[in-house]
Structure 1
Amino acid sequence: MTRSGNAIASSLRREWARLRADPWDIAMLGAIPLALYLLTWWTFSAGVARDLPLVVHDRDRTVVSRNLIRMLDASPGLNVVLVADNEAEALRLIRAREAFGLVSIPADLQESVLAGRGAKVQWAYNAQFSAHSGSMTRDVRAVVATLSAGIELQARARRGTGPGQAGVQIEPVQTRISTLFNENGSYIPSLALPVAFTLLHMFVTLAAVTAIGREFRAATVPEWLAAAHGKPAAALLGKLLIPCACFAVHALLLFVLFGVVLRWPVQGSATAMLAGTALFITACLALGAAIAVFTSSLRAALSASAFITAPAFAFAGQGFPLLSMPLSARIWAESLPLTHYLQMLNNTWTGGAPLRYNLAHLAILLAFTLGLGVAAWLRLARRMHQPATWGKQ
């Protein structure tokens, strides 16, 4: 084994001995992240939102209005929790978050339908909950459109029009809708999968921050560097190899959980996903190492790590489009490894993108790894000669 290899191995053995003496750090590399991955899966395990509560204010109380209420309640995504006597009672349920929308049926609904006049059913929803309201709005529109089409077909049939001709007359121009990549609109690939890898990103960065920050806090930098034969690069590599291996196993378990157990296999390039995930882990380790070395304080490093990683998902373009963000937010988003990894994840896992579509993302993740890793190495080499910076909390 070369001198560099011996230095890395010596640093690795020292780190393994330290980890075996600290059950909490062992748990942070194993049981705790795994439990949170499973919690994320369990949270979104239903896949599709069902039985979202709404309230109906029926001022008509006729056969037509009762049919509408029955159809609303029969819709898989909706659940009529109350037919209210007045709007005040309905709004009370919405403010109490016992319902997320209100269908208000006018008093002259059946009369207007029988007379051939237009009638309007009012749909009011709580827009504070965009996921709820979007799904419910789609289902309410579908139910009302189905009821309306059924009434019109019956009317035209009574006038002697055939069913096929009546359908064309009702909707002469039709929209043909094709859903790409996530046909049933499941939350598992669109939210659970990105959130799980966001947790991975947080724990990987935290592992690097903790491993290096403890050396500064305990003022054991000389012993750490001595174990690596005075080589800063070997000291860093030896310290980070264990979390790198642990979280690589975590990533493979996530692949098995979502791809095999939950039956959402990778549709695109498996090579891109494996290489991208490996580079993502090394980029997060390099980020944590740079934070720890530049702050030289475990407390400051933990704060900086939380500041960077905790809100990273909000900037990754999953909840709000990246292209619609202000310039400053867009710059911050592009400066985070998670943003580029989740873009590759979405394109490849469910989007079916081939390897060539992900080369830019792979190059960016590699640049994060090399850039932050070199920065941490150079800074540590300088800190070797600044003992006054050791021993900070």
Structure 2
Amino acid sequence: MPANEGRTGFLAVFAREFSHIRQHARYPLAMFVFPLLSFILIWGLFSEPYPRELPVAVVDLDHSKLSRSLIRAVDASPEIRVAFQAADPVEAKNLMLEGAVYAWLHIPKALEKDILEGKGGDVTGFINTQMLLPGSMVSSSLQATVSTLSAGLNIRSRMQGGAMPEKAMDLLDPVRIDRHVLFNPQLNYMYFLSAALCPTFLQIFVLMVTVMALGSEFKNRTAEHWLKTAGGSVWWAITGKLAVYFLCFSLVGLIMLAVIFPGFGVPLRGSCAVLMAGTLILILAYMACALVLVYLFPSLRMALSAASFFSGTAFAFVGITFPVEGMPALGKAWSSLLPLTHYLHLFQEQTLRQAPISLSVPDLLIMLGFVGAGYCLIPFFKRHMTDSRYWGKA
């Protein structure tokens, strides 16, 4: 006889769900193995924190001392390397279309001659910005390299005209920008992209597993027994079931933070307690979202499809790769409906920005709002549990 036979209430539901997880290997896999493997995968993919030696091609039609100096300067840039010296623009264009290079540089004929004669010259860059991040990095690196070489030529020309080095520098750049890059001056991918992907994977697993756990009760026609185990209390039925998953995912969430900070080397300049609390609330928020989806879609297949759309597309709208402020109104609205958006905002404040706790309180309250909204639906689940019309839907 099972240990919980004859007992009812929260603990009976908890024990029933724990036994269910032990009997079905897909739950431990989805709660522990797959999330941890995803963290390891992210670490492996982004173990090099800085993009280096992105390939570019050069078409040198001048074959002069100046053009060779320019090619060496481009190749010396840490972000890019001259992987190909194409014979003509057609070959360089084909290399870009094949994906072999991110950009190609066209050095025209008589470039050195025109510059020596004071006519100036144009070096043309063709950059593939279809892939935004590498394209923008290659563009910036090429611009900086050509500008530096051009400035050197300008200074040398002025010095040959009798100007002192300091005067030549002032004439070249009369207004200077004193830049202070804050929070991530190293442009380290681990600090913003890798650290953001881990919570993204976590919310996917939390939502999908919770939808599966709730929806399978209706699909397998066990909802009535589930309610009886809770002593007829829909609150004990749902909270007892979700408590098991919350404890499991809380452990995974704490492991995630350990991976991000000691593992990825992301600085923790703010409050560790706020970040841990935010992680736990994030898990509760996505469990609440699962309640909403299962209530709206009694069919397990439809609920899982909606969950995959809601969680799978989240990363595109949270403002990591594209600023929320630049999105259209619909994109901004969708971003605000994602608990992950508010968690990552809190995450950045407490890691890189060293923001005071008071600035992170609104994000915590918004995520708690998701929790409250979802759990307000619990009383309405009793009808689903007792009405056979909601059962057996694949």
Q: Which segment drifts farther, 120-129 or 345-354?
A: 345-354
CA displacement at 1:346 relative to structure 2: 2.2
Q: Does 1:39 align with 2:57?
A: no
CA displacement at 1:156 relative to structure 2: 3.2
Q: Deviations over 1:38-64 (max 9, x none)?
A: 112221221111111111111110011
- The one-letter amino acid paired with 1:233 is W
- Correspondence for 1:347: 349
- Correspondence for 2:270: 268
Normalised TM-score (structure 1): 0.95
Q: Which segment drifts farther, 360-369 or 143-152?
A: 143-152
Q: Secondary structure at the match of 1:384?
A: helix
**Aligned positions of 1:1-393 closer than 5 A:** 7-375=9-377, 377-393=378-394
CA displacement at 1:70 relative to structure 2: 0.7
CA contact 1:77–1:139 (8 Å) conserved in 2: yes
CA contact 1:53–1:79 (8 Å) conserved in 2: yes
CA displacement at 1:350 relative to structure 2: 1.5
Inter-partner Cα distance in structure 2 for 1:85 and 1:296: 63
CA displacement at 1:72 relative to structure 2: 0.6
- The one-letter amino acid paired with 2:392 is G
Normalised TM-score (structure 2): 0.94
Aligned alpha-carbon RMSD (Å): 1.6
Q: Deviations over 1:77-101 (max 9, x none)?
A: 1111111111000000000010111
CA displacement at 1:113 relative to structure 2: 2.2
Q: Which segment drifts farther, 365-374 or 250-259?
A: 250-259
- Deviation beyond 6 Å, 4+ runs, structure 1: none
CA contact 2:9–2:231 (8 Å) conserved in 1: yes
CA contact 1:213–1:293 (8 Å) conserved in 2: no
Inter-partner Cα distance in structure 2 for 1:57 and 1:371: 60
CA contact 2:224–2:386 (8 Å) conserved in 1: no
User: How many residues are treated as equivalent by the alignment?
Assistant: 388
Inter-partner Cα distance in structure 1 for 2:176 and 2:296: 61
Q: Which segment drifts farther, 42-51 or 135-144?
A: 42-51
CA contact 2:39–2:259 (8 Å) conserved in 1: no
Q: Deviations over 1:336-371 (max 9, x none)?
A: 211211222222221222111111111110010011
CA displacement at 1:268 relative to structure 2: 2.2
Q: Which segment drifts farther, 292-301 or 211-220?
A: 292-301
Q: Deviations over 1:128-157 (max 9, x none)?
A: 111111101111111112212222333333
- The one-letter amino acid paired with 1:201 is Q
Q: Which segment drifts farther, 21-30 or 337-346?
A: 337-346
CA contact 2:210–2:290 (8 Å) conserved in 1: yes
CA displacement at 1:109 relative to structure 2: 1.4
CA contact 1:271–1:355 (8 Å) conserved in 2: no
Q: Which segment drifts farther, 127-136 or 337-346?
A: 337-346
Inter-partner Cα distance in structure 1 for 2:44 and 2:65: 42
- Correspondence for 2:4: none
CA displacement at 1:6 relative to structure 2: 6.6
CA contact 1:258–1:265 (8 Å) conserved in 2: no
CA displacement at 1:21 relative to structure 2: 0.6
Gaps of 5+ in 1: none
Q: Secondary structure at the match of 1:352?
A: coil
CA contact 2:270–2:355 (8 Å) conserved in 1: yes
